[in-house]
Amino acid sequence: MKSQRVKSMLSAAVVIGTMASAHAEDVEVLHWWTSGGEAAALNVLKDDLAGQGIGWQDMPVAGGGGGNAMTVLRARVTSGTPPTAVQMLGFDIQDWAAEEVVANLNGVADAEGWNAVVPDALQQFSTYDGKWVSAPVNVHSTNWIWANKKLLKEVGAKQPETWEELIVTLDKLKAAGYIPLAHGGQPWQDATIFDSVVLTTGGIDFYKKAMIDLDPEALGSDTMVKIFDRMSQLRDYVDKNFPGRDWNLASALVIEDKAGMQIMGDWAKGEFLKAGKVPNEDFACFRMPGTQGMVTFNADQFVMFDVGDSKAQQAMAKAIMSPEFQSAFNVVKGSVPARTDVSNEAFDACGKKGMADLAEANKNGTLVGSMAHGHAAPAAVKNAVYDVVTNHFNGGMNSKQATKALVSAVQDAQ
């Protein structure tokens, strides 16, 4: 009896020992890639790591812009058990690096020559105090429209080139009984549309002044009143079920021929591809009218937290930055590579356009960080902008009141 107990204790110890060593080769990854297209892209990473014998512990927290994920992360770090790697955007990376809880990736970054291939616009977020703290996976941008080609044809609308033409197209869709604009009423989605409306209404210099420099004069200007007026205009084209709807369900409305278009970042393309839709045949991808040549970007990066010496963590960072992975992942995700030396060969027409637009904007000084997705200002300011934009979009105040509120909210948040 006794020996039986000892035996089972011993075998339990062996199992625990095996688990512990398997665990050492795992990465625990906190992310918000929970839609079909996002999950498909994430599988490219999981499979890549599995091929190297690295296990994956999934920690998904839904919500574009990463607000929810950042709340969960705070709790984990506070309790002293940070995940291995965390999907993160722009200024959040800098904030976490300042707390001295992130790993130093200079070893792998130097060995792999990251400095030479990652654009400065990204490096300014990936490095802190001379140290690489994150591996950039992609570059997305928010000033895109995803349109159903069949419906546009049916209602006799062409691809809009100006704001006025956009409104004409939306009116035609409305008259034909379709949902003109597929949208989900969540603050980050309202703010994603706002990025595009600021850019098309004010132009690049205004965007920089208002969204990046947070200049009170620009924030409180007549141009901003006009921007809010245009947000109200768009509000007239969403369906009554829009409140709270997830972004991928809004994409599904366009995919399923129920809605004409969605103003959304290029992660939306991942949903169309997942549904078997073909760019330029089933759906069109074009920049918000009036913003061709300009790009409001956001880059997903995996920030590596300080979890002690972890081979799996280093391997993950290296895998993310390999040119082959950057191509394979971004083809599925809808984004474009975070390295400048990846061929566009494997990308579809929208991906090729995304890569060309990014290179052109980078060259011309028209590449700006997305406010909605954490690349224009730190989280406190971003959240203040979310609040005002959403309140106004839902009729809580008029455009003049919203403009005034924006000035003070942004000021208070700094």
* Shortest distance, position 41 Cβ to ligand BGC, whole Å: 8
On whether the CB atoms of residues 148 and 283 are closer than 8 A, the answer is: yes
Residue 287 is a binding residue for ligand BGC (CB under 6 A):
no
On whether the CB atoms of residues 145 and 263 are closer than 8 A, the answer is: yes
**Residue placing its CB nearer to ligand BGC in the complex, 224 or 319:** 319
Copy the structure tokens of residue 1. Answer: 């009896």
Give the whole-angstrom CA distance, residue 169 versus residue 54. Answer: 50
Q: Which of 54, 56, 59, 65 binds ligand BGC (CB under 6 A)?
A: 65
**Residue placing its CB nearer to ligand BGC in the complex, 198 or 402:** 198
**Residue placing its CB nearer to ligand BGC in the complex, 65 or 279:** 65
Compute the radius of gyration of the chain from its Cα atoms. 23
Q: Which of 300, 301, 347, 375 binds ligand BGC (CB under 6 A)?
A: 300
Residue 67 is a binding residue for ligand BGC (CB under 6 A):
no
What dihedral do alpha carbons 279, 32, 378, 301 form, nearest 10°?
-70
Task: Of 285, 253, 335, 351, give the one whose Cα is nearest residue 147.
Answer: 285
Binding flags for ligand BGC, 205-244, as an x/- string (CB under 6 A): ----------------------------------------
Residue 136 is a binding residue for ligand BGC (CB under 6 A):
no
Candidates 18-26, 58-66, 158-166, 336-344 — which segment interacts with ligand BGC by CB under 6 A? 58-66
Amino acid at 154: E
Please, which residues bridge with residue 369 across strands?
A: 297
* Shortest distance, position 247 Cβ to ligand BGC, whole Å: 6
What dihedral do alpha carbons 27, 30, 32, 36 form, nearest 10°?
30
**Residue placing its CB nearer to ligand BGC in the complex, 321 or 407:** 321
On whether the CB atoms of residues 258 and 177 are closer than 8 A, the answer is: no
50 CB-near residues (< 8 Å, 6+ apart): 56
Residue 373 is a binding residue for ligand BGC (CB under 6 A):
yes
On whether the CB atoms of residues 148 and 204 are closer than 8 A, the answer is: no
Copy the structure tokens of residue 291. Answer: 């913003």
Residue 267 is a binding residue for ligand BGC (CB under 6 A):
yes
Candidates 22-30, 64-72, 156-164, 284-292 — which segment interacts with ligand BGC by CB under 6 A? 64-72
Please, which residues bridge with residue 132 across strands?
A: 127
**Residue placing its CB nearer to ligand BGC in the complex, 197 or 299:** 299
Q: Buried (b) or exposed (e) across 186-218, using 16+ Cβ within 10 A?
A: bbbbbbbbbbbbbbbbbebebbbbbbeebbeeb
Copy the structure tokens of residue 322. Answer: 């390999």
* Shortest distance, position 17 Cβ to ligand BGC, whole Å: 38
* Shortest distance, position 276 Cβ to ligand BGC, whole Å: 19
Binding flags for ligand BGC, 380-399, as an x/- string (CB under 6 A): --------------------
Residue 375 is a binding residue for ligand BGC (CB under 6 A):
no
Return residues touching ligand BGC (CB under 6 A).
32, 38, 64-66, 89, 140, 247, 267, 298, 300, 373
